[in-house]
Structure 1
Amino acid sequence: MTRSVYVSGIDRGDGRQVVELGVMELLTRQVDRVGVFRPLVHDGPDRMFELLRARYRLSQDPGTVYGLAYHEAADLQAEKGSDELVSRLVERYLAVAREYEVVLVLGTDYAGTQLPDELAFNARLANEFGASLVAVVGGKDQSAESVRAETRNAYRAFEGLGCNILAMIANRVAPGDREEVARRLAARLPVPCYVVPDEPALSAPTVSQITQALGGTILLGDDSGLARDALDFVFGGAMLPSFLPALTPGCMVVTPGDRADLVIGALAAHAAGTPPIAGLLLTLDERPSPEVLTLAARLAPGTPVVSVPGNSFPTAAELFSLEGKLNAATPRKAETALGLFERYADTGDLLDRLAVARSERVTPMMFEHELLEQARADRRRVVLPEGTEERVLRAADVLIRRDVCDLTLLGDTERIRKKAADLGIDLSAAQLIDPAASELRQGFAERYAQLRAHRGATVELAYDVVSDVNYFGTLMVEEGLADGMVSGSVHSTAATIRPSFEIIKTKPDASIVSSVFFMCLADRVLVYGDCAVNPDPDAGQLADIAIQSAATAARFGVEPRIAMLSYSTGTSGSGADVDKVREATKLVREARPDLLIEGPVQYDAAVDPSVAATKLPGSEVAGRATVLIFPDLNTGNNTYKAVQRSAGAVAVGPVLQGLRKPVNDLSRGALVGDIVNTVAITAIQSQSPSRPPAPATAPQPPTPQEPAV
């Protein structure tokens, strides 16, 4: 059983931080407590540990992360020899290993370390720690043959030193060489070898990093603008007509500060999206007049304008020596890095080879990781009708960088592009559609009129209706142009899901549309239903909600044990409300005898084993329920919010169930992470389940009606 994973390179510049981040992502999917250990550290902040600590909410004391400083290690080795140095590092490592289920070890960085035979040193540490090794070979600016040779040689070297090699990773390989290198290495090495192409956005410095490195002064720009990657540098000296064609997407414009024409011209091009730029760097310590700066701020709000004291030549020399770094202040680079790792490394196979025992606890982070992995495993297209909303665009940025699913954004396409440019978001991988101008509009109008003919809809009326982004998006799902839809960050629940009741309708075995929330507590995930749609379901509807919720829970890896909640447990109470829950429980048992269910039961008896032992001894559900069905919307909605706020639970949802195709509603207070999770859930709902839940066999309720919203 793996207790630690050691990531080691063989030289500088291999970009192994991408691999370290990717391995950490895999480990945190499996276990709750992952420790980090870096045997040797330079003076100053450790950017990688700070990124891991921020991203994965590590509680580890930073003082326990490091073995020794490099200068301490050099002195100790010179005075007492290598054995004493290794012994000291093993002692420090074991102190971390005793506290955590698994440890990620970050190998030495080959940067002025004064260690003889650093590869052998890393190999020995990996062996002494009992760690499995992931070895990284850098391929930047190397030929395909050189990468292959170095990777094979590195494998032989680590194998010859007795290492347990999990995988070899050739990183920063020229994109055009990637497939050939991967094919040739697969035939020559007995362990998996993943080949990751070079990604310019990872090595591109952000505007903030450039400003800090050059001692610049920020004249204009917000945090989002300063986080943009400078993918290229364009030096402005020519007149405007010659200058504009030289601009490239994501470039940093470098020009003397007295060239107001180039400043305004570059920002105007950015505002028009032709092309979006990263920002402007003004040299010679010359600053535009207040009038020019005011115009600049209105042309491209948030776009950075930075002044530096040097002239263009020394500034250029410094710029070309800068390289972007992964750190806690560059979360978008981290998303890009993870997307790259997950796209080109076989993460499923690597997880199997890691052989880390999965924790019994399921933390919110583990659940969220699993959502993204499931969505990525069978790629789907999700339509987002609120394409001009900032939170939606930021969520789209994460989903694209992580390669989770295909996206369609609806709205005025020029507004979407301009907003994305202002936020520094690249939407080139997304489909943008303006419903009002789309060639699909006429066909959608005819389809909608056909579906609503019984309500008197005409094509002329439908033509106006389908220009609404939610109706248009729902029709895309109905017609198979998208697999699911997510909306609601700026629209009401009614505006979001009413089109689905009219167009998509319910599944044959569902009487109503209902919802669940995944409540991610500190140590487990519970499913709450219905907390968002049905105000006061009757017994038959409540039974349908329970069966749907059990299927949803199973689909997302939660073993369904259903508690039908009430204010009394077992036979202790009576009255119409309790009788409804009792009847619903009976209907579920008749329809699905394979499901574990208990009801009526109070919340404490449902989730607390000690209470259950007193109130319902011997129950297979009480005390360990995972699916909690509330008797009405008032109880469910208030309970989920109380648990969310009081217990610090992460509430993922509402997730709609019962529709033929997935449409999900966001809270208007949804955060970017909530939107990412909901899109992933929607993509998973549209995938073909490996084992579809058995249909209900109980007598069916009356013909479904369109629920009131």
Structure 2
Amino acid sequence: MSRRIMLIPVGTSVGLTTVSMGLVRALEEQAIKINFFKPLAQPRRGDNGEERSTTIISHHCSVKPIKPFELGYVEQMISSDNTDELLEEIIERFEQHQQSDAVTVIEGLVTTRHHPYAERLNLEISRALDADIVFVCVPGNENPVDINHRLEIVVDTYGGHKSKKVVGCIFNKVNAPLDEHGRLRADIGAIDAPEHDEERCEALRSLPIFSKGLAFLGSVDWNADLVSPRAIDVAKHLDAQLINEGDIASRRLSSVTFCAREIHNMTHALKPGALLVLSGDRSDVFVSCCLAALNGTKLGALLLTGGYSIDENIQKLCNQAMETGLPVMSVNTNTWQTAQGLHAFNQEVPVDDSLRIEKVMVHTAESLDASWVTSLTEKVSRQKKLSPSAFRFYLTNRARQVNKRIVLPEGNEPRTVVAAAICAKRGLARPVLLGEEAEIQRVAAQQGVSLSEGVEILSPSAIRGQYVEGLVALRGHKGVTDVVANELLQDNVTLGTMMLQHDDVDGLVSGAVNTTANTIRPALQLIKTAENASLVSSVFFMLLPDQVLVYGDCAINPDPNAQQLADIAIQSATSAEMFGIEPRVAMISYSTGDSGAGSDVEKVREATKIAQSLRPDLLIDGPLQYDAAAIESVGRSKAPNSPVAGKANVFVFPDLNTGNTTYKAVQRSFDLVCIGPMLQGMRKPVNDLSRGALVDDIVFTIALTAIQAAGA
């Protein structure tokens, strides 16, 4: 049975694309079949490529949207009085591509002075496709009476309160910054919006219209982080010349300051994410900005106006600051003209800004009414494959539920500090940063984050003495005395491991600076393996575009024997189950079934038999070649009777060389998000990070560590 939801804007600039993205993501997290259809392309100013909503969802979700009709063709049909024929073509295209057992999100048109026919066409399309209606409204600074009046009018347009097709309303951009006329501020870094206003949200929920049958389906707060463009987006908009490229593709701009004052009057503007606009001949200001960058402040970018060139000697003086990644660009326009250009900047998310798109999707999805989203999935087919978004949703949702205390020994490492702030803000864990508070707060300020009460900072020197006796008790047989123990505890990873051993924390995450050996060695010595585990192994969660695969062991055991390989398979299957994946385990080899011989194949064959005998309830098969395990057509050909071939989602590699090479080849070749390695078989959860880990990698590793702690 299919469900069709059409999003109808109430007014202009309601952020319809944002809500579409969020609803698709929320449904994706339910692991169901989804369609997306924007019947008519409606390009915005500056859009030259494919329709924006369709492109974003096709690239960033496991959905293949239905292609929209071009606006020129639509307007030609309307002007020729062929609207009925147009509607027939829309229905035909929809029916050709829609899945009968899926939920379809349909995005309506926004009424503008260039598209006055949009409201009438939305009504006709919703009727033609027999879609339920959900309104999207921006409350602005209107009082509740006026908002209610607007909604009553639009509800009447779509059949009134008695219509079963009129479902509810989603409020977007709640608490957004407004100008003096009550309009949404469109300029970059306009102002910081105040914190979530629960009183305003409650006023919206209490509108009289919601007592008449219309449902309140969500309130999406405006969030400054979600409208921060990249420096490269501004450079393209202004057609700026790059003097120093730096990190222009990744640095975010959260504020704009025009530097026309003396240095001592503008030091407050030298902050993370700031776009500093200055005349190209103001060498004093330029040097001051470079000094701030050298001091660790991650400025957004410098924009030089007037077409002036930087003095050669000044540029040499500031070369080291440039090497920190500070983007510097130049325009020929004067300061006033540049300000006008910045004011006209299109704040909509670019289709290639993956990081921002992901954040927008997650934020919007989390703001929708969960019970309504779940109700849409009733009698709709579930996907057999767990999508990456559904996996991430499981991680974050489950981590919130278990609410574990996770120690981060690398407490003053910048990415770790930002990740801790995010985890505390989203309620994923109670992070504990080991380090001196002044240093950690300085790093946080440089990274542009504030550490809430949910982030705990512990000075190692203040707590080290508590664990000397315990360390001696654990390692005394190896010659560890009080003096040696105190010396070993100078290492924060060892200190954090002792905190975990004493149950003062629930898990440990390290490795952004430390090597894998430095992270794991204290755990093996002090935490040890679980009672039912013969070894410690690892898995990676590989987030492919349409599903999540589990790879084990790619980080710990160089050449496991058959018994150990069987244990790794069982541990990996158990980990998959812990994270919502129904395991189908493939024991990987260079040969499938009985087609090959040799000691390596025999090891995998024996390991498969051992694993099957130990856990007959699991789907485990091998030996299987990778293509036979992963590709259905190959699996049918090479192993037609296998319950796993072509459908495997847990891949167990015969040795570390094969596993590590495969995971890195897949990750790098397809630019995949890869979470791990997650250690298995420990009494308590300890997890390692890649030294090249991104902030999001650390956040997800903290979340999965919390879940492990709850399942241990």
- TM-score of the superposition, structure 1-length normalised? 0.78
Aligned counterpart in structure 1 of residue 231 of structure 2, from 207, 225, 228: 207
The one-letter code of the counterpart of 2:84 is: D
- CA deviations on 1:327-363 (whole Å, 9 max, x unpaired) are 1243333233234224422346414325442222445
After TM superposition, the structure 1 = structure 2 runs for residues 321-332 of structure 1, keeping only pairs within 5 Å, are 321-332=344-355
Is 2:128 the partner of 1:122?
Answer: no
- CA deviations on 1:224-266 (whole Å, 9 max, x unpaired) are 46641233x3332322222224556533323332222222223
Which residue in 1 is equivalent to 2:381? 357
Is 2:678 the partner of 1:655?
Answer: yes
CA contact (8 A) 1:169 1:195 kept: yes
The one-letter code of the counterpart of 1:51 is: I
Is 2:184 the partner of 1:184?
Answer: no
Which residue in 2 is equivalent to 1:298? 320
Which has the larger displacement, 13-22 or 530-539?
530-539
Which residue in 1 is equivalent to 2:70? 68
Which residue in 2 is equivalent to 1:278? 300
Which has the larger displacement, 143-152 or 294-303?
143-152
Query: Secondary structure of the residue that 1:18 maps to in structure 2?
Result: helix
- CA deviations on 1:17-62 (whole Å, 9 max, x unpaired) are 32122122234443577444342423733444443343237766xx
- Aligned-partner Cα distance in 2 for 1:616–1:114: 57
Which residue in 2 is equivalent to 1:44? 48
Cα deviation for residue 519 of structure 1 reads 5.9
- CA deviations on 1:439-474 (whole Å, 9 max, x unpaired) are 344445555445433433344433443343433443
- Aligned-partner Cα distance in 1 for 2:251–2:344: 19
- Aligned-partner Cα distance in 2 for 1:642–1:229: 34
CA contact (8 A) 1:276 1:421 kept: no
Query: Secondary structure of the residue that 2:70 maps to in structure 1?
Result: strand
Cα deviation for residue 648 of structure 1 reads 10
The one-letter code of the counterpart of 2:68 is: Y
The one-letter code of the counterpart of 1:452 is: R
- Aligned-partner Cα distance in 1 for 2:79–2:633: 60
Cα deviation for residue 193 of structure 1 reads 2.4
Query: Secondary structure of the residue that 2:134 maps to in structure 1?
Result: strand
The one-letter code of the counterpart of 1:22 is: G
Cα deviation for residue 525 of structure 1 reads 5.5
CA contact (8 A) 1:226 1:304 kept: no
- Aligned-partner Cα distance in 2 for 1:85–1:490: 60
Query: Secondary structure of the residue that 1:105 maps to in structure 2?
Result: strand
Which has the larger displacement, 176-185 or 193-202?
176-185
- Aligned-partner Cα distance in 2 for 1:99–1:80: 32
- CA deviations on 1:168-219 (whole Å, 9 max, x unpaired) are 2111111324442354257665424211222233345543333333343332
- Aligned-partner Cα distance in 2 for 1:575–1:276: 55
Which residue in 1 is equivalent to 2:263? 240
Which residue in 1 is equivalent to 2:361? 338
- Aligned-partner Cα distance in 2 for 1:243–1:564: 63
- Aligned-partner Cα distance in 1 for 2:359–2:414: 19
Cα deviation for residue 610 of structure 1 reads 10
Query: Secondary structure of the residue that 2:40 maps to in structure 1?
Result: strand
Q: 1:457 to 1:625 in 2, by over 3 A?
A: same
- Aligned-partner Cα distance in 2 for 1:646–1:444: 45
Which has the larger displacement, 483-492 or 502-511?
483-492
Which has the larger displacement, 394-403 or 42-51?
394-403
Q: 1:349 to 1:471 in 2, by over 3 A?
A: farther
Aligned counterpart in structure 2 of residue 230 of structure 1, from 248, 254, 259: 254
Which residue in 2 is equivalent to 1:315? 338
Which residue in 2 is equivalent to 1:501? 524
Query: Secondary structure of the residue that 1:41 maps to in structure 2?
Result: coil
- CA deviations on 1:472-506 (whole Å, 9 max, x unpaired) are 44345445565433344554432221121223333
Which residue in 2 is equivalent to 1:695? none
CA contact (8 A) 2:25 2:365 kept: no
Which residue in 1 is equivalent to 2:189? none
- Aligned-partner Cα distance in 1 for 2:672–2:336: 54
After TM superposition, the structure 1 = structure 2 runs for residues 608-619 of structure 1, keeping only pairs within 5 Å, are none
- Aligned-partner Cα distance in 1 for 2:687–2:363: 28
The one-letter code of the counterpart of 1:170 is: F
Which residue in 2 is equivalent to 1:702? none
- Aligned-partner Cα distance in 2 for 1:611–1:215: 50
- Aligned-partner Cα distance in 1 for 2:459–2:330: 43
Query: Secondary structure of the residue that 2:206 maps to in structure 1?
Result: helix
CA contact (8 A) 2:280 2:307 kept: yes
Q: 1:619 to 1:299 in 2, by over 3 A?
A: closer
Q: 1:35 to 1:402 in 2, by over 3 A?
A: farther
Query: Secondary structure of the residue that 1:23 maps to in structure 2?
Result: helix
CA contact (8 A) 2:37 2:106 kept: yes
Q: 1:380 to 1:115 in 2, by over 3 A?
A: farther
Cα deviation for residue 138 of structure 1 reads 0.9
Query: Secondary structure of the residue that 1:327 maps to in structure 2?
Result: coil
Which residue in 1 is equivalent to 2:26? 26
Cα deviation for residue 137 of structure 1 reads 0.4
- Aligned-partner Cα distance in 1 for 2:61–2:637: 39
Query: Secondary structure of the residue that 2:69 maps to in structure 1?
Result: strand
Aligned counterpart in structure 2 of residue 468 of structure 1, from 478, 485, 491: 491
CA contact (8 A) 1:388 1:416 kept: yes
Which residue in 2 is equivalent to 1:706? none
- CA deviations on 1:396-443 (whole Å, 9 max, x unpaired) are 898789875565666798998888888x76465698899886534444
Cα deviation for residue 533 of structure 1 reads 2.8
What are the ranges of 5 or more consecutive residues in structure 1 without an aligned counterpart?
693-709
After TM superposition, the structure 1 = structure 2 runs for residues 85-484 of structure 1, keeping only pairs within 5 Å, are 85-97=86-98, 103-116=104-117, 118-143=118-143, 146-147=146-147, 150-151=150-151, 154-155=154-155, 157-158=157-158, 160=160, 162=163, 164-165=165-166, 167-174=168-175, 175-176=196-197, 177-181=199-203, 183-185=205-207, 190-224=214-248, 227-231=251-255, 233-245=256-268, 250-272=273-295, 276-299=298-321, 301-347=324-370, 349-355=372-378, 356-363=380-387, 367-368=391-392, 370-376=394-400, 378-380=402-404, 382-385=406-409, 426=449, 428=451, 439-445=462-468, 447-478=470-501, 483-484=506-507
Cα deviation for residue 507 of structure 1 reads 2.8
The one-letter code of the counterpart of 2:684 is: K
Is 2:570 the partner of 1:550?
Answer: no
- Aligned-partner Cα distance in 1 for 2:227–2:662: 47
Query: Secondary structure of the residue that 1:654 maps to in structure 2?
Result: strand
Cα RMSD after superposing both structures: 4.8
CA contact (8 A) 1:204 1:323 kept: no
- Aligned-partner Cα distance in 2 for 1:306–1:612: 54
- Aligned-partner Cα distance in 1 for 2:62–2:417: 25
- TM-score of the superposition, structure 2-length normalised? 0.77
- Aligned-partner Cα distance in 2 for 1:412–1:331: 35
Q: 1:36 to 1:206 in 2, by over 3 A?
A: same
Q: 1:54 to 1:642 in 2, by over 3 A?
A: closer
Which residue in 2 is equivalent to 1:701? none
- Aligned-partner Cα distance in 2 for 1:582–1:270: 59
- CA deviations on 1:533-566 (whole Å, 9 max, x unpaired) are 3455567655654543332222122334567789
Which has the larger displacement, 129-138 or 35-44?
35-44
Which has the larger displacement, 470-479 or 172-181?
470-479
- Aligned-partner Cα distance in 1 for 2:657–2:230: 48
Which has the larger displacement, 329-338 or 613-622?
613-622
Which residue in 1 is equivalent to 2:184? none
What are the ranges of 5 or more consecutive residues in structure 2 without an aligned counterpart?
176-195
Q: 1:456 to 1:337 in 2, by over 3 A?
A: same
- Aligned-partner Cα distance in 2 for 1:255–1:389: 32
Q: 1:134 to 1:586 in 2, by over 3 A?
A: same
- Aligned-partner Cα distance in 2 for 1:173–1:551: 42
